Every structure is written in structure tokens, then in C-alpha cells.
Amino acid sequence: MTVQELPGAAAYRPAPPPAWKPLTDPAPLLPDPEPYRVLGTDAVADADPELLLRLYAELVRGRRYNAQATALTKQGRLAVYPSSTGQEACEIAAALVLEERDWLFPSYRDTLAAVARGLDPVEALTLLRGDRHTGYDPRAHRIAPLCTPLATQLPHAVGLAHAARLKGDDVVALAMVGDGGTSEGDFHEALNFAAVWRAPVVFLVQNNGFAISVPLAKQTAAPSLAHKAVGYGMPGRLVDGNDAPAVHQVLGEAVARARRGEGPTLVEAVTYRMDAHTNADDATRYRVESEVEAWREHDPIRILERELTGRGLLGDEGIEEAREAADRMAAALRERMNADPVLNPMDLFAHVYEEQTAQLREQAARLRVELDAEQDQHGDEDVEERR
Amino acid sequence: MTTAAAATGERTARTKPATMAQALGRALRDSMAQDPTVHVLGEDVGALGGVFRITDGLAKEFGEDRCTDTPLAEAGILGTAVGMAMYGLRPVVEMQFDAFAYPAFEQLISHVAKMRNRTAGAMPLPITVRVPYGGGIGGVEHHSDSSEAYYMATPGLHVVTPATVEDAYGLLRASIASDDPVVFMEPKRLYWSKADWSPEAPVAVEPIGRAVVRRTGRSATLITYGPSLPVCMEAAEAAVEEGWDLEVVDLRSLVPFDDETVATSVRRTGRAVVVHESSGFGGPGGEIAARITERCFHHLEAPVLRVAGFDIPYPPPMQEKHHLPGVDRVLDAVARLQWEAES
Ligand SMILES: Cc1ncc(C[n+]2csc(CCOP(=O)(O)OP(=O)(O)O)c2C)c(N)n1
């Protein structure tokens, strides 16, 4: 069904001016009512075994990363960690569909996507550890800073993709947002700009059921979040967010479409947040264990593993191998995160403006005096070390 | 950009009257011609040339990709500008009117102002946000706000406001060239003010952050900016009759703030009045008065006074004359500077 065929739509349209033409792109904009699946369907026959195995290894690593980071909050090494356990298929696919020149615009929950894209696991955690806002150079990795204000990174992705296209670069931006974030004004403005400018952007909504405690039903009355696309004049796609090859395929098609100059796509991945919102949240207040149990059956690692073992692509040995590789990554992360970061308080003034204002120079001098006094008083290496 | 010709005033022979609006348009044009990464975007900036015609002709000269009519969404305009700047462009964003910039506050405060800091200097955002501001043009509500205090309170932003035709050109050029984000406040009441000025002549582009003494005097200092500068200049002329010789400082830049020029003047005159249109409570005048008191306390012969707009939502156009600080209110404040204490 194309947008022109929407029942009753013609009645709401103002009289077309002489130049008005219907959309020439016949691509159906509306999502299929059922999320697209690969695992357990005929489509799986076409899936590249090598890709499936790669996805599997990355999912296992990702799950371990989430567990390790959550453990680090308990040891006080991280201020907070919003786990993406259960959502690894979305995180990994988002990272793997992009070429090196493409850009990723993650939200605060998407540390895993940044790491899967190749970011140093420790650099990816500086925001959540609290020592620096962004521990990496976004330009060097083509990863925007993990974004805390909901949906505000989406217009950035549109602007960057638009700028790249103006420069003649075939760069695609992939922006990630949660189901709650789709209610924000910036979500709407970003999609509208992207469609009007035909910007090479892919929006990935991870619908994990909740915005902190608020279920999707209280967030939107739309049949699906992917349906929102049609109002902007871009295709909406609904995909099983736990089916890694399906997410990879749908995002891959959207990225290819953007790269061909055919404009943005909105992808809704239906998934589930297995852990609480963050380590500080109590999920028992707003959901029942039986719901979580039901989703455990549909765990992204479990369903992929079932497929791979069923086809004889993966045996106990391979499973063990993936687990050991993940453990090694976690051990290295743990060790590095257990070292205190070396901080320089004078950095507070270093990057407010290109050149420090006179006012900031004065304030920096005052802090310097306080630090010197502190050191005179304690005289211990502890203070010196923290500088 | 500073040239000998500009410095010596050689170009006066070639000048003709130009408006501030023309000077701003010329600054945009020259910046775009010089630097292909400069892009203008906003509502109605293309074929119409903006509701104040500042961007007139830019779309024709540089194409719609460089002077772009955007969808009507301020957060989207500034938000996409962030992404454009991340990719190496220099966006100049037009906010149609002061009060319509508010939907973009989230982008401005959480992203534009902070990106350099968040990324430890790796990703500065060279964005200029042009905001026509202030009253006195008979605009209905939401068309006359003085919103500079909100921007001033946000670390990471430069806040600049010209009061003369020459500064409009020079400061806008400097803002666009700056690697830091600049909120460029345009006193819309002065858009049609004229000066002998030739856009063809070389013009000195001053770095952002310097105040200038517009009139020297010995009795007291009027500290002001933007739309209130002409008011203060007129007041200073009128004050001569009362035997007061007033100095007038035009701040030009609210952030960074030029403490030196202000303090030097006030130490000499011993008295200061801060004049601006925006509401007094929580307004720029309070900050400026505090800074003066901290730096010049022993030189002060009187408390630093403020002449500001009342602490009310901007009034309807038929009432705005009562709200806006005019010459009489400035002179009244000068009269309250405890002159008798001097003798
Ligand atoms: C603009 C804004 N408002 C509120 C918050 C506080 N907040 C953080 S996460 C969150 C819920 C987000 O839910 P969703 O978009 O579904 O993403 P999820 O956490 O499920 O990944 C809220 C309300 C915020 N970060 N930004």
C-alpha cells in the first residue's frame, strides 16, 4: 500500500497546486503488521553462515560486556549502567551494517553498539564512570557522543548526513532511539527534516517495551512505532529486534537505500529489556516476572544458537569458544576499569571555549590556589596523583 | 582583516548611507563567498530573504543548498545545524524572532554550548545563531523579547550584540569565523538605522569580546549595548545641559565580558549606570553591577544603578513606550547618583 492509497487521505488534502505530483517512489511506506523474522522462517536459508556465526560471537561478547559493566556499578567503578541485555541483536546489527565512513548516533543505552563498532571498551564507559563526558574523539571513530537528552541526537544525524551528501560523500548516518524517545519533539523534527531533505539517515527505534517504568501503551496510540514513518513520507519497517540476522538485513537494506540517495527509513525493532532500566531501577514495581520469563524463551542468543546448532554450524566447542573469548574481554575490561583514572582538575576550564575568557582564567587561578593549599595541608601523594 | 585603510579612515571618501540590515546581509554574503563551508539555514531565508530581508539574494547567489529554507521547526533547524557542523560545515542559523528561538533551547544548551566541552576539545561547533531581539517596533507579543540573559547564563556560548552598522558587519564576520558557537543578538529596532558606510571598503573586524567607549566623559559611565546605545548617546548629549559629562560604554559582547574596559571607565568616573531593555530582575544589569562593585568598590562614589525594562512580560505594542528605558529614565538615574556626596 502506498501513501496515496491510504483510505480517506485524499479528503484531507488541500486542492493540489498545478505542480503537485504524487510521490514517484512506489516503495510501500507502511510496515508489515508482523515484525520481519529470519530465524525459524524460510528466509534463514538465504542467510550467510559466516555472518550468522559472526553475529553469534558478537552477541555473546555483548551480553558479557553488559554483565561486566553492571557488576562494575556494584563495585562503585561505574556511576550507573543502563544495560542492553536482551537487546544485543539491535546493538550489534547497528554496528555491523555500517561502513567505516558511516556515522553512528547512539543514545545512553547504546554503549554496546559503540564497542561493537570498534570503540575501546573503556573509552566507551567514561560517561558512565563519570570521569569524562566523552572519552573518545567522535570524528576519529565516526561515533557521536552517547546522548543523554532523549532523541536530541536524531537531528544531529540528519544534519550530518545532509552535510555529507552536500559534499558528495556517500556517508550514511544511523541514529538510535528508544520507544519513549519517539514521543519527543526532536524525534518528529528529525524525521521530518530527513524526509524533506531525503537525507541518508536510518532511524533505529529499539522498542524494548518500557521507558523507565512506562509501557509502550502509555507512550503512543499508533499501531506500531514504524507506522509513524508514513506521515513523514518515508518507509517504516518492523523487525523482530531479537532476531539478529533479521535486524541486520532490515538495517542493511535501509542503509543501502540511504546510500543510493533514496532517503531515510524508520526501523522499529521489537525487543525487550531483560534487566532493569539501570542498576538503580526496581523493575518489579512495574512489570511481572512471568512477562520477563516469556521473553527469555525468545532471547536473541538463544534463538540464534538454536538455529546454528540445528544446522550443525555450531557445536559445544564453538559455544565454549565464544564464551571464553567473551570472558577474556570481560577480564581485561575489569582490570582496566579497576585502575583509578588520572584526572586533572584544571581540565575543567580547558574546553569551554577555544580560548579561555578572562573570567575563566581568574577562576582557574582560584582553583589552582585551592589545590595548592590542599596539597600543603595534606602533603600526600594522593592529591598529587589526582592532578 | 584589519587594514591600514580602515584604521586611517581613508575610506570615508567612498562611503554612503547603509542600514544595519544591509550590513548584516553583506557580512553573510562576504562570509559565504570567502568560505564555501558557510551555510545559512532557517525559516523563509531563501526566496523571501528572511522576514527582515537580511538574507536577501543569498539563495540566488549561492544556491538553495547553501541558503536553505528549512521546515518550520526551530529545534530541528539548530539540531541539524549541529550535525552539519560535526561534518565540517559552518552553519549560520536564523531564528525568525527572539521568542521563537525558545523551542531550540534544548539543542542550544545541551548540545551547541557543550559539544566542545563534552568531547574535551575534539569537536568544536562553529555555529552562529542569529536572533533578532528587543522591542520598539510595535510587534505583537512574542516579537519583542530580550532573551540575552538566558544565553549569557549558559557557559560555552558567546553572546554578541552590535549597536552600530559597522559593528553589525564586523561582529557578524567574526562570529561566523569563530570556532565557538555564537548567539548573535540583532537589535531589530536598529535594523533600519543608517550610517555612512561602504560595504565595498575594507572594514576592520574586531575580535569578539571587546567593549568600546562611544563617548568619553568624566562624571559617570553609562554601560549599555544593542538597542539601548542610541538612547544612552542621546541621554549623554542631553545631560550636558545639566552639567554632567557622561561616558558611554558599548559592550558589544556580553560573553566574553570585557571587565577591563568597563572597570577602567568606572574607576575614572566613579559612577555607573547600566542600561538595557530586558527585565531588570535576573537580567544582565545585575551581573554587570556586581562585577563593577567587586572591581571598583573603592572608586565608587555611588551605588551602581540599573535602568532596565520592567519585570513584566513584554507589554502590548501600544504600551511598550512605558516599558522601554528612554532618555528621561536614564537621565533620572544619573540624577540619583548621589552627586551631593561629591562636594
Ligand atoms: C529529554 C529527556 N527527558 C527525560 C529523560 C530521563 N530519562 C532517561 S531514560 C528515560 C526513558 C527512556 O525510555 P526509552 O526512550 O524507551 O529508552 P530506553 O531507556 O528504554 O532504552 C527517561 C525518561 C532524559 N534522559 N531526557
Residues B72-130 pLDDT 10s: 999 999 999 999 999 999 999 999 999 999 999 999 999 999 999 999 999 999 999 99
Lowest mean pLDDT among A70-84, B14-28, B305-319: B14-28
pLDDT of residue B338: 85
The total number of residues shown for chain A amounts to 387
Among B252, B232, B258, which Cα is nearest to B164's? Answer: B252
Whether A277 is a known active-site residue: answer: yes
CA–CA distance, B120 with A133 (Å, rounded to integer): 8
Question: CA angle, corner B109, sides to B107 and B112, nearest 5?
Answer: 65
Contact B145, B133 (CB under 8 A): yes
Lowest mean pLDDT among A15-19, A32-36, B45-49, B222-226: A15-19
Nearest CA to ligand 1 atom 18: A178
Q: Cell 570521569: give the residue.
A: A131
Out of B79, B91, B121, closest to residue A152 by CB: B79
Q: What is the mean pLDDT of residues B192-204?
A: 74
| B23 has a pLDDT exceeding 60 | yes
A387 SS3 class? coil
| A2 has a pLDDT exceeding 60 | no
For chain A, the C-alpha Rg in angstroms (whole number) is 23
With beta carbons under 8 A apart, name residues in chain B contacting A133.
Answer: 114, 117-120
pLDDT of residue B120: 96
Contact B80 A156 (CB under 8 A): yes
Residues of chain A above pLDDT 70, percent: 91
Is the pTM higher than 0.95? no
A75 SS3 class? coil
pLDDT of residue A377: 87
A150 lines ligand 1 (CB under 6 A): yes
CA–CA distance, A271 with A205 (Å, rounded to integer): 10
pLDDT of residue A5: 46
Confirm or reject contact between A154 and chain B (CB < 8 A): yes
What is the Å distance from ligand 1's center to A104 Cα?
19
Pocket test for ligand 1, best of A85, A127, A146, A150 (most atoms within 8 A of CB): A150
Best mutation target among B38, B80, B180 (most A Cβ atoms within 10 Å) is B80
Band the pLDDT of A360: cuts 50, 70, 90.
very high
The values of phi and psi at residue B17, to 5°, are: -65, 135
pLDDT of residue B17: 77
Nearest CA in chain A to B258: A358
| B10 has a pLDDT exceeding 50 | no
pLDDT of residue B8: 39
Q: Say if strands A210-211 and A214-215 run parallel, antiparallel, or are unpaired.
A: antiparallel
* Mean pLDDT of all residues belonging to chain B: 93
pLDDT of residue A20: 63
Confirm or reject contact between A107 and chain B (CB < 8 A): no
Residues B273-313 pLDDT 10s: 999 999 999 999 999 999 999 999 999 999 999 999 999 99
Q: CA of A291: how far to CAs of A82, A288, B126, B144, B213, in Å?
A: 20, 6, 48, 54, 71
**Residue ranges in chain A assigned as alpha helix (H):** 9-12, 49-74, 88-96, 111-116, 126-129, 138-141, 153-166, 185-197, 228-232, 244-259, 289-296, 300-310, 316-337, 358-378, 381-386
pLDDT of residue B6: 39
Cell of residue B123, nine digits: 569537536
Residues A237-271 pLDDT 10s: 999 999 999 999 999 999 999 999 999 999 999 99
**Who has greater pLDDT, B12 or A110?**
A110
pLDDT of residue B16: 74
CA quadruple B172, B113, B131, B229: dihedral sign: negative
What is the Å distance from ligand 1's center to B103 Cα?
19
**Who has greater pLDDT, A19 or B60?**
B60
Contact A302, A56 (CB under 8 A): no
CA–CA distance, B337 with A161 (Å, rounded to integer): 58
Band the pLDDT of B7: cuts 50, 70, 90.
very low
CA–CA distance, B184 with B172 (Å, rounded to integer): 7
| A31 has a pLDDT exceeding 60 | yes
Best mutation target among B37, B87, B115 (most A Cβ atoms within 10 Å) is B87
Residues of chain B above pLDDT 70, percent: 93
Among A136, A102, A108, A120, which Cα is nearest to B118's? Answer: A136
| B2 has a pLDDT exceeding 70 | no
For chain B, the C-alpha Rg in angstroms (whole number) is 20
pLDDT of residue A39: 97
Among B70, B118, B125, which Cα is nearest to B95's? Answer: B70
pLDDT of residue B152: 98
Nearest CA in chain A to B72: A189
Best mutation target among A136, A156, A172 (most B Cβ atoms within 10 Å) is A156
A215 lines ligand 1 (CB under 6 A): no
pLDDT of residue A378: 82
Q: Cell 569551554: give the residue.
A: A352
CA–CA distance, B61 with B38 (Å, rounded to integer): 13
What is the Å distance from ligand 1's center to B342 Cα?
61
| B36 has a pLDDT exceeding 70 | yes
Contact B256, A361 (CB under 8 A): no
Q: Cell 575543567: give the residue.
A: A348
pLDDT of residue B41: 98
Nearest CA in chain B to A153: B79
Kindly state the helix (H) or strand (E) to which residue A343 belongs, with its residue range: none
With beta carbons under 8 A apart, name residues in chain B contacting A140.
Answer: 122
Q: Which of A286, A287, A298, A386 is catalytic?
A: A286
CA–CA distance, B337 with B298 (Å, rounded to integer): 16
pLDDT of residue B249: 98
Whether A351 is a known active-site residue: answer: no
